[in-house]
């Protein structure tokens, strides 16, 4: 975990060192709301995310990469199970933007998502410390500085394991996944 944070810190510092006038590079802040669905639960649960982001775009083609370091809270907490996860979320998306003038653009994005869990396990839930998922999203770029988007995150593996006792007092285990819809707003400097 320390090595990952160190590498990410170096990458962010290197990106900040790029000239501010370069049109292909922008930094900003991104935040929004999560709606999580757990694989064996019928209820959707809310959460939030916030953090810095960076975007590199080839101006004429509209093709680029965006990445963010987000504090992300997702999952659910009930009387029975605490499946809420809080941690560092690092989405890295390939983004294609096509403009309808200099003040308005539409984008689609997809890429991997790396999540590092900060919350500890509880007595009946074992949460994975790190997970990899896939992002799929779309959105609008407005007035050269604002981005409004919707994103869907699908984990490639299980998010954790739940343990419970059934009617016969037998111990049972069940893996679960947390799939998440994200509605975001970003301001680029």
Q: Residue ranges of the chain with pLDDT lower than 70?
A: 1-23, 41-42, 78-79, 102, 121, 165, 167-170
- Name every residue whose Cβ is closer than 8 Å to that of residue 107 and which is 6 or more positions away in sequence: 95, 96, 97, 98, 138, 139, 140, 141, 147, 149
pLDDT in tens, 12-34: 555 444 443 345 899 999 999 99
Domain 2-188 is in which class? mainly beta
Cα–Cα distance for residue pair 85/119, rounded to 1 Å: 6
């Amino acid at each position: 975990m320390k090595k990952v944070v160190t590498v990410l810190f170096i990458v962010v510092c290197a990106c900040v060192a790029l000239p501010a006038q370069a049109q292909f590079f922008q930094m900003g802040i991104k935040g929004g709301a999560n709606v999580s669905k757990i694989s064996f639960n019928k209820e959707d649960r809310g959460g939030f995310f916030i953090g810095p982001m960076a975007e590199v775009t080839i101006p004429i083609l509209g093709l680029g990469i965006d990445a963010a370091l987000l504090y992300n809270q997702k999952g659910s907490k009930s009387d029975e199970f605490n499946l809420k996860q809080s941690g560092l979320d690092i989405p890295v998306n390939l983004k294609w933007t096509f403009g309808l003038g200099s003040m308005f653009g539409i984008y689609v994005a997809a890429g991997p998502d790396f999540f590092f869990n900060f919350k500890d396990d509880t007595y009946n839930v074992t949460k994975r410390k790190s997970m990899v998922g896939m992002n799929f999203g779309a959105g609008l770029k407005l007035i050269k500085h604002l981005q409004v988007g919707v994103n869907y995150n699908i984990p490639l593996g299980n998010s954790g394991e739940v343990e419970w006792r059934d009617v016969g007092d037998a111990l049972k285990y069940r893996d679960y996944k947390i799939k998440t819809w994200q509605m975001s707003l970003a301001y680029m400097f």
